[in-house]
Amino acid sequence: MSSDRDTLLRGRVADICGLDNIRDGADGDAVGGLVPPVVASPGSPREVSEVVRAVAAAGRCLTVTGNRTALAMGPPPRRLDVLLSTRRLNRVVEHSPGDLQVTAEAGLSLAELQRHLAGHGQRLALDVAGERTVGGIIAANASGPLRHRYGSVRDLLIGVQLVRADGTPARAGGKVVKNVAGYDLCKLMTGSYGTLAVIVAATFRLHARARASQWTRHEIDGPAGVRAVVSAYARARVEPSAIELDYDLRTGTGVVETLMEGSPPGVAARCARVGDVLDGVAVPHPVAATEGTADDLVLKVVVAPAAVADTLERFHAIPPVAEGGAHVSGRAGVGVLRLTVAAPPPGSVPALVTAVRAVAGELDGSAVVTRAPRATSADLDVWGPVRGLDLMRRVKEQFDPGGVLSPGRFVGGI
Amino acid sequence: MNGSGARLDAVLAELVPALGGRAVLTDPSALRAYDCDGLTTHRSTPAAVVLADDADAVASAVRACARHQVPFVARGSGTGLSGGATPRADGVLIVTTKLRRILAIDPDNQRAVVEPGVINLDVTVAATPHGLYFAPDPSSQSVCSIGGNVAENAGGAHCLKYGFTTNHVTGLDVVVADGSTQQLGGTAVEYPGYDLVGTFVGSEGTLGVATRATLRLLTRPEAVRTLLAAFSSIDDAGAAVSSIIAEGLLPAAIEMMDATAIAAVEQAVATRYPEGAAAVLIVELDGPAVEVDQDTAAVERLCREAGSTSLHVAQTDQERQLIWKGRKAAFAAVGRVSPDYYVQDGVIPRTSLPEVLSRIEELGHRYGLRVANVFHAGDGNLHPLVLFDDAVDGQAERAEELAGEILALCVAAGGSITGEHGVGLDKKKYMPLMFTEDDLDTMHRVRCAFDPSGVANPGKLFPTPRLCGERPGPRRGVHPLTEAGAGDVF
């Protein structure tokens, strides 16, 4: 490979972004062990477009990142020349409180956006933990407890501005919630992990902040406990905003914590109604998710909404999961879970993943490895089986025929 | 053998033996019954109609069309209002109305699995014994089919709170344009890979034909209150809508009708809407009883503060049904007071409602045509009905021109040319108001992935015909990486 070409590309990217906004990659910038020669931080959508165009024209590859929280996810790219950081794209572009919509640049952190919106009594109904950027949340389809009531990114994103793999800027959707003009590329971008286009800005529908809210903690013993809590809430028709599980597979105990939101008397009345049929205590906030260590195996396990208790039962029946110190947390009412197995022997990881995947498959779901222990073999199948993979390859071929954007990081080697 | 007639003959030669003669219509008088959908101003008799009995028949028909490069159009109940199911004279119309089995109601997971010909309302009827319902409720819900809802991403009055069809579909079996069947999504809320379910919903039949859908069902809310408020001006009604939203309330629906629409509805269904009102608002609140009562009181107060001249909260289910009957019958009612009308589906940011409505009124005066307004005020989705008489020379053209100006107004205000009816044939020429050539090219890449030869519902959605294939760009041919042997760029 000609290093002249790389030198020229670096010079070009420096011209576009300014010398202060490009630097050599370091170990901390590695994507799946691959250290990028260049880290570039363009400061405007136009600069993003020019950087992508330059990288594509040089026949090189780039990976996009926001706050790097999802970079450990997925296999390493087949090639990495430029790590494109969106952190300088951090403006609230437009907020129209009366229309309950906001447009933000991709590198803005969700926390900053929420602070801005809170000043107007509004919020984006996405409560993803950690310092995540707007663009990163869309690309990784990240969600939090509020998913129970408000859905995920796909239900809140109404417009997107992107830069295609050849550098062409394009938009889809718009600024109004109700809009069926053209294909819904917002959905296509959601969860695409930066493999189809670079997201530079996004428009979301907003909700009013709740006037009152209350978390309630219910202790549970065994998988049946989850079932009991979830169905009690459903029967009471009290419309909780969140139902969160935190369960220790070794002890078979845990908690289900729920969030009730609304008017002060409404929240009180609904909590009281649940209190009549279920023991629980009011808590200021839910238990913090266990962060774990770099030696843990972490999977995102998504199953049919009512299959959470079944999932736990089946995990109990996998000895290396149940006995090795494992933990399940997540959305008990919609079936989006996180399984953390504490520091399994690296050699056992593929078999563990296969066993977990079999459970998810039986419950019409999936299991994706979001973090593998450091010493795990590079051949680990991170994504597992994928429905519609052939069509997905065709979509990738149309959007990024040259394989510029994170080649090899996504499902089926996309 | 290249003529479209010969290609069509080749398709029929395959399909008649495979599906049976009764499933393949070619008799001109039978075909004429299918010459339009709900947009009756666009008509075209299909060359053949396939009445599919099952998903395999759909796949056979699509495969035959793909093999012989004959365009096909899928059609459900044919209630669409944008010409999405208008047939092609040189193509096959694949009708899915016989695929009407509800395959499963799964109360635990709150899902229904249905075939595309199932009527929207029938899903709710089947789910009702479990205390569940299917939220998308287009006005035509007693006749429109799920396949059409999926194709058009149908909305309805209650999408203000509950979203559109796309928010209520978790899985699809899709026959793509090469005739292969792909299972996308399922019971769970997400699957690894691109969200092709979300991409397919609303694609207006241009990516393939859905043969099975997994739908989300919602729990019936504990309480529902429906309120009818009259106003002496549209501006006052608009101000009430703004203050309801500003208060942080999220009603299930906020609908508005103007005087012309009210008069038409009154004549048709005698709903007893307040006489002499310049506008009525229908506000529906649902959820836990405590909050619904509280929020209803708040809405009443806000309507009064905005100058409401009369307020009524439905006391019985019958009263509630009657209020809705007027709203849902509005299009048909206008059809009775005017020889012809043209419905539009523009969307505006809610805050520009008063300004855009007064501009529409001005436009009506300028064109010498009456415009009735019936709309989903909560989400800014306008349905201006331009009244005209096709028997009067040039009026139809003027009506369409006026409707076009209304859409331009909506886009200029930051809105959209269509909120729920789809682009179809009707609005494709307005797509460039909203999207650049590059935006449209980006969308078209999705189409090329699903239907590279362009046989699925061609001539819809995109303003100009497009082909898939080579296009200019910074890189063509073999990727330099592949050339260098560095990696396989699939």
Chain A segment 318-377 residues within 8 A of B by beta carbon are 334-336, 364-366, 368
Residue A133 neighbours by CB under 8 Å, 6+ apart: A66, A67, A86, A87, A106, A107, A108, A109, A110
B239 shares its domain with B326: yes
B177 shares its domain with B125: yes
Residue A313 neighbours by CB under 8 Å, 6+ apart: A223
Q: Tally A–B CB contacts below 8 A.
A: 306
B375 shares its domain with B298: no
B118 shares its domain with B144: yes
Give the model's confidence band at B370: pLDDT under 50 very low, under 70 low, under 90 confident, else very high. very high
* pLDDT at residue A2, rounded to an integer: 59
The yes-or-no verdict on residue B472 having pLDDT over 70 is no
The interaxial angle of helices B437-450 and A389-399, nearest 10 deg, is 150
B187 vs A393: CB contact, 8 Å cut-off? no
* pLDDT at residue A125, rounded to an integer: 98
Minimal C-alpha gap between B144 and chain A (Å): 18
Give the model's confidence band at B268: pLDDT under 50 very low, under 70 low, under 90 confident, else very high. confident
**Can you tell me whether residue A253 is helix, strand or coil?**
strand
Domain contains B458? yes
Interface test with B, best of A143, A178, A203, A235 (most B CBs within 10 A): A178
B442 shares its domain with B474: yes
B190 vs A152: CB contact, 8 Å cut-off? yes
B186 shares its domain with B122: yes
Chain A segment 212-241 residues within 8 A of B by beta carbon are 234, 237-239
* pLDDT at residue B2, rounded to an integer: 59
A398 vs B351: CB contact, 8 Å cut-off? no
The yes-or-no verdict on residue B19 having pLDDT over 50 is yes
CATH label of the domain that carries residue B205: 3.30.465.10
B188 vs A53: CB contact, 8 Å cut-off? no
Residue A7 neighbours by CB under 8 Å, 6+ apart: none
Give me the percent of chain B exceeding a pLDDT of 90: 84
Closest-CA residue in chain B for A238? B288
Last residue of a domain, one of B284, B314, B331: B331
Q: Are A395 and A52 in contact (CB under 8 A)?
A: no
Q: Name the one residue in this structure whose structure tokens are 């793509």.
A: B176
CA distance A202 to A89: 11
B410 shares its domain with B353: yes
Residue A175 contacts B, CB cutoff 8 Å: yes
Residue A117 neighbours by CB under 8 Å, 6+ apart: A95, A102, A123, A124, A206
* pLDDT at residue B487, rounded to an integer: 33
Does the pTM surpass 0.90? The reply is yes
Nearest-CB residue to A185 (from B109, B290, B442): B442
In whole angstroms, what separates CA B220 from the centre of its chain? 24
Minimal C-alpha gap between B28 and chain A (Å): 33
**Structure confidence by residue, pLDDT tens digits, B64-108:** 999 999 999 999 999 999 999 999 999 999 999 999 999 999 999
Nearest-CB residue to B198 (from A154, A182, A402): A154
Residue A272 burial (10 A CB sphere; 0-12, 13-18, 19+): exposed
Q: What angle do CA B94, B35, A184 make, to 5 degrees?
A: 55
B107 shares its domain with B214: yes
Q: What share of chain B is helix, strand, coil (3-state, %, to 5)?
A: 40, 20, 40
* pLDDT at residue B479, rounded to an integer: 40
Using an 8 Å CB-CB cutoff, list chain B residues near A169: 438
The chain-wide mean pLDDT, for chain B, equals 92
Q: How many CB atoms lie within 10 A of CB A68?
A: 17
Give the model's confidence band at B477: pLDDT under 50 very low, under 70 low, under 90 confident, else very high. very low
Give me the percent of chain B exceeding a pLDDT of 70: 95
Domain contains B298? yes
Q: Name the one residue in this structure whose structure tokens are 């994507």.
A: A31
Q: Are B229 and B285 in contact (CB under 8 A)?
A: no
Residue B475 contacts A, CB cutoff 8 Å: yes
Please name the amino acid found at residue A95: H
B475 vs A185: CB contact, 8 Å cut-off? no
Q: How many CB atoms lie within 10 A of CB A350?
A: 16
**Structure confidence by residue, pLDDT tens digits, A94-106:** 999 999 999 999 9
B27 shares its domain with B80: yes
**Structure confidence by residue, pLDDT tens digits, B302-361:** 999 999 999 999 999 999 999 998 888 888 888 888 999 988 999 999 999 889 998 999
CA distance B223 to B292: 7
Last residue of a domain, one of B71, B95, B119: B95
Closest-CA residue in chain A for B479? A402
Minimal C-alpha gap between A229 and chain B (Å): 14
Nearest-CB residue to A187 (from B191, B199, B474): B199
Residue B392 burial (10 A CB sphere; 0-12, 13-18, 19+): exposed
Q: Which residues of chain A have pLDDT under 70?
A: 1-2
Minimal C-alpha gap between B55 and chain A (Å): 17
Q: Are A260 and A271 in contact (CB under 8 A)?
A: yes
Minimal C-alpha gap between B158 and chain A (Å): 12
Last residue of a domain, one of B47, B73, B95: B95
B426 shares its domain with B377: yes
DSSP lists the bridge partners of residue B184 as B172
Domain contains B488? no
Residue B320 contacts A, CB cutoff 8 Å: no
Residue ranges making up the domain that contains B125: 102-219
**Can you tell me whether residue B220 is helix, strand or coil?**
coil
Q: Name the one residue in this structure whose structure tokens are 């490895």.
A: A369
The total number of structural domains that make up chain B = 5
Chain B segment 92-111 residues within 8 A of A by beta carbon are 108-111
Residue A34 contacts B, CB cutoff 8 Å: no
- B58: number of CA atoms within 13 Å, CB side? 31
Closest-CA residue in chain A for B352? A99
Domain contains B489? no
CA distance A238 to B198: 29
The yes-or-no verdict on residue B1 having pLDDT over 50 is no
The yes-or-no verdict on residue B266 having pLDDT over 90 is no
DSSP state of A61: -
- With CA atoms as reference, report the closest residue to A94 among B351, B407, B431, B162: B351
Domain contains B475? yes
Q: Are B257 and B330 in contact (CB under 8 A)?
A: yes
Residue A26 burial (10 A CB sphere; 0-12, 13-18, 19+): exposed
Minimal C-alpha gap between B393 and chain A (Å): 32
Minimal C-alpha gap between A392 and chain B (Å): 6
Residue B464 contacts A, CB cutoff 8 Å: no
Chain B segment 18-77 residues within 8 A of A by beta carbon are none
Residue A22 neighbours by CB under 8 Å, 6+ apart: A10, A13, A14, A38, A39, A40, A41
Minimal C-alpha gap between A167 and chain B (Å): 9
Domain contains B490? no
Residue range B467-487: average pLDDT? 48
Nearest-CB residue to A57 (from B108, B109, B474): B474
Residue A392 contacts B, CB cutoff 8 Å: yes
B386 shares its domain with B324: no
Strand arrangement of the beta sheet that strand B72-75 belongs to: B24-25, B48-51, B92-95, B72-75
A180 vs B164: CB contact, 8 Å cut-off? yes
Minimal C-alpha gap between A130 and chain B (Å): 21
Domain contains B27? yes
Domain contains B269? yes
B109 shares its domain with B91: no
**Structure confidence by residue, pLDDT tens digits, B131-175:** 999 999 998 999 999 999 999 999 988 999 999 999 999 999 999
CATH label of the domain that carries residue B232: 3.30.70.2190
Residue B287 contacts A, CB cutoff 8 Å: yes
Supply the Cα-derived Rg of chain B in whole angstroms.
24
